[in-house]
Amino acid sequence: MKKRVVHYINNFFAGVGGEDMAHIPPEKREGVVGPGMALQPALGDEAEIVSTLVCGDNYMGEKTDEALDQLIAWIKEEKPDLVIAGPAFNAGRYGYACGSLVKKVQEELGIPAFTAMYDENPGVDTFRKDAYILKVADSAAGMRSAIPLMAKFAKKILNGEEILGPDEEGYFERGIRVNYFHEKRGSERAVEMLLQVMAGKDPVTEYPLPKIDRVDPVPPVKDMAHTKVALVTSGGIVPTDNPDHIESSSASKYGVYSIEGMEQMSKDLFTSIHGGYDRQYVLENPNLVVPLDAMRELEKEGVIGELADYYIATTGTGTSTDNAKRFGEDFVNKLKEDSVGAVILTST
């Protein structure tokens, strides 16, 4: 009997519009849709994608429980042998959606499930311990190489084969240790490793330390009424002519823009160039992302000391964490020079 597979994708990959349709609730379609059309032949005759579940990333992000409950109910009906989500590449909300679903499928239904993402997708760190996440490229251009990888992994699971370590299978390390007998005992390996280090080589560690970059919370603001507050956003709000040519995704730069003397973010002066959300509301009212109108009123009321006469902006979607870190390291110097004592950072 053919094994049954349910595939989850977002509205974009289902061909249901772009960001303007990211609000759509879950839907269930018979058979293959979008990437499933390539995945099905790669799976061969042993498995069949019986249905494809689709949901808008915004709906999933905003009404996660409702969306997951509906999806889980449908998956339960289908009685699949495996659930595959994505690939989500470097799309953060999609990665979060895929990760949330595969986690819940395993926990609530006990059905194997996996997804696939790019290294820097925030979904990787959130869900790598909960599920297999295969390593794929950062954009849909990598679909061609992602499909065989996913199909191969799917077949292994469906055939009940042993899933080997992250390097062998190409998934993100899950922090799981499996005992096995090595041909050489530990003391021998340790001495070999030591000799390699002494020879100036770089041996591969057997126990990589986790790279967790956390910053301890700083003490709170003591006297807000005398503090200068600055606004920063990753929501892509820039002057209408986008003077710094900030990219609509995968930003390589940020901008500092004057709001001196302005009571609110005027839609005639500011726009959004962000390619990762439906901009219709923000184009009408940029204060939805850069809350200048509210800040000005609180400034007048004396709740804050003053508002910095500029805001800082970049586009968050697809932007590498290395770039984001570099932007931050760079603009904090300006914030410090200008005696900014608190920052509100808004993200879309």
Of the pair 45, 337, the CB lying nearest another protein is at: 337
Residues 221-240 that bind another protein (CB under 8 A): 221-222, 224, 229, 232, 234-235
Are the C-beta atoms of 331 and 256 separated by less than 8 Å? yes
When binding is defined by CB under 8 A, the residue of 48, 81, 247, 278 that contacts another protein is 278
**Neighbour tally for 177: CB within 10 Å:** 8
Q: Give the tokens for residue 279.
A: 């901009």
* Cβ atoms of 305 and 226 closer than 8 Å: yes
Among 108, 192, 263, 284, binds another protein (CB under 8 A): 284
Residues of span 57-86 touching another protein by CB under 8 A: 57-58, 61-62
What tokens were used for 166? Answer: 């992250």
Smallest gap from residue 206 Cβ to another protein (A): 27
Residue 109 interacting with another protein (CB under 8 A): no
CA dist., res. 112 & res. 104, Å (int): 10
Q: How many Å is the Cα radius of gyration of the chain? A: 24
255 binds another protein (CB under 8 A): no
76: amino acid identity, one letter: K
Q: Maximum CA pair distance of the chain?
A: 73
Q: Which of 268, 312, 262, 309 is nearest to 289 (CA)?
A: 312
Candidates 40-48, 104-112, 147-155, 218-226; binding stretch for another protein (CB under 8 A)? 218-226
Query: Given the rule CB under 8 A, which of 65-73, 182-190, 200-208, 318-326 is the region that contacts another protein?
Result: 318-326
* Residues contacting 159, CB < 8 A, separation 6+: 46
Of the candidates 58, 59, 51, the residue with the CA atom closest to the CA atom of residue 34: 51
Q: For residue 119, state whether it binds another protein (rule: CB under 8 A).
A: no
* Binding residues among 188-217 for another protein as defined by CB under 8 A: 213-217
Instruction: State how far Cα 186 lies from the chain centre.
Output: 38
- Does residue 126 belong to the site contacting another protein (CB under 8 A)? yes
Q: Which residues bind another protein (CB under 8 A)?
A: 19, 22, 57-58, 61-62, 92-93, 96, 122, 125-126, 213-222, 224, 229, 232, 234-235, 277-282, 284-285, 287-289, 291, 293-295, 297-298, 303-304, 314, 321, 324-325, 327-329, 331-332, 335-336, 340-348
